[in-house]
Chain A
Amino acid sequence: MNHLPQAWGRPRDDVYGPYDASYLQSSHPQTHTQQPIVTGTSVLAVKFKDGVVIAADNLASYGSLARFTDVKRLRPFNSRAIVGIGGDVSDMQYIDRLLNSLDIAENYSSEGHGLNARNLHTYLSKVMYKRRSDINPLWNQMLVAGLDGDDKPFLSSVDLLGTTFSSPTLATGFGAHLAQPLLRKVADDESQVSDVAREKAVEAVKECMKVLFYRDARSLDKYSIAVVTKEGGVELKEDEQLENQSWQFADTIRGYGRTQEV
């Protein structure tokens, strides 16, 4: 025995020859997440005069395989804030735990007002920016919906780069291409939000979920939708089914051109 712990318990050099130290090397380059694996697709949200509507479908895809069909991607935080999460699902689960422990710890200091949606968005944006600066991002884009410190509707986005922006209507992923133009018909800029009724906002979001199901190959017809208002808090429904899909026209389509009209 000698005073070098790394040599303890090893065959003696003088008897068995020197140990091949190349076996000791566990140092390969450290790697981080370089691509998402199990993913959720779009999250949509619209502000209306008393609050915000937010929706996401219940699918977690494994590449092109629709692997998990019962994954709830709207994560309520408290009575004033909810987060919709797209992108990597394991990272979403990590964020979920993070928010849970934040909520518990925040509750311990009973004096004070609790976090509102704006505070939550600030927190998440700092987490996301820190992670991307460590070159170890959480592979998500999130929408934070709810009420700000003045109980006014709040909606903002944060993504894996720590980029943040807000708008009266927001959509992540595929929805940014397909749903956002439709949602902007409801409220094109901030001044129009006060004219949008709750029913109109809910209807617009549901319509967009339908359009996305038609055209997004990674989407599902089962979805979650939540409305956040001052009066009702977070009203979350997690097992909604898309309704009124239009497929009757399909019967009349034959072939790809004028040659096949039978």
Chain B
Amino acid sequence: MTSIGTGYDLQNSVFSPDGRNFQVEYAVKAVENGGTCVGIRCKDGVVLAVEKIITSKLLKPGANKRIATVDHNIGVVSSGLVPDGRHFVSRARDEASSWRSTYKAPITLAALAGRLGGYVQAYTLYSSVRPFGVTAIVGAWDSEAELGVDGQVGSGPSIGAGGKVAGTKAGGPSLYMIEPSGLYWGYYGAATGKGRQAAKAELEKLDLASANLSIEAGVKEAARIIYVAHEDSKDKEFELEMSWISSTDGPTKGRHQEVPKDILEEAEKAAKKAMEGEDEEETTATEGETMQE
């Protein structure tokens, strides 16, 4: 950080003597102030969750959605500057629809993440634009169903050239996080925003790599993690927004949807209960410590 204040942080796309783009790092600061976002890649789907800080009692509960849908099967949530997030979503929708018009098939999340990463990165290349003030988490269930020729209009030849290979399977859950620099990775579990440290610690405990977690359990975990991550800004009220994308034979039939109200409420109740349990443990532990002193 020695170069700060020496003029290398005044313009986007300028390298500092140690090879950094400070404007991008400042954009990351904007993200670090945003509400916590979490994405969990489960064995049969993906769960997205966001902590929405309630800045005024005049805001209508349940309105002002922060999780957006792209195509049918992709969910996007971001923390940082909300309008930048909306612009990001709009670009994602355009990319998905242009992919469809070219290839007559839905875009895979790997391809979409690549395009979005490229788009965000382009905003680090010029001093005439500013970097994106968002880190976005995108999740999808890439359909494993066999797609017909031009979307089920016909099924094509059953054998021979252009025929099908028996038993092949593609698709499945996938989750990516895209940062203001344009950097993106695939994740088992991703977190960003103010409470990301606490959220990441909780995500690491879940052993997501072995893909044992069901999407129903994932919803509960996501709710709990948002509540845990909220601990540091306890004084502010918040609303939990969650969405999920299940496998083709799961509850959302391969589509990205809001988590239904009853399931959301149940998950929130369980999250609150888990938090109370933790509080009790903590208080007894601290009491013990003071006793020893």
Contacts and interface: CB of A to CB of B under 8 A. Distances in A.
Interface residues of B, number: 19
B135 interface: no
Nearest to B97: A101
B104 interface: yes
User: Binding site of A, secondary structure by majority: helix, strand, loop or mixed?
Assistant: helix
A2 to B, nearest CB: 35
B150 interface: yes
A122 interface: no
Contacts of A110: 65, 69, 258
B69 A68 contact: no
Contacts of A203: none
Q: Which of B104, B150, B154 gathers most chain A CB within 10 Å? A: B154
B71 interface: yes
Interface string A71-100: 110010000000000000100110011001
Contact of A108 (B69, B104, B151, B154): B69
A191 B227 CA distance: 58
Contacts of B104: 97
A60 to B, nearest CB: 7
Nearest to A85: B153
Nearest to A94: B150
Interface in B29-81: 65, 68-69, 71-72
B155 interface: yes
Nearest to B72: A104
A71 B151 contact: no
A110 B72 CA distance: 12
A97 B152 CA distance: 11
B91 interface: no
Contacts of B97: 101, 104
A70 B154 contact: yes
Given A97-B104, A101-B97, A101-B100, A107 B69 contact: yes
Nearest to B148: A72
Contacts of A60: 154
A100 to B, nearest CB: 6
Contact of A93 (B71, B153, B155): B153
Interface string B85-105: 000000001001100110010
14 contacts: A70-B155, A72-B154, A89-B153, A93-B150, A97-B100, A97-B104, A97-B150, A101-B100, A104-B71, A107-B69, A108-B68, A110-B65, A110-B69, A110-B258
Interface of A: 60, 68, 70-72, 75, 89, 92-93, 96-97, 100-101, 104, 107-108, 110
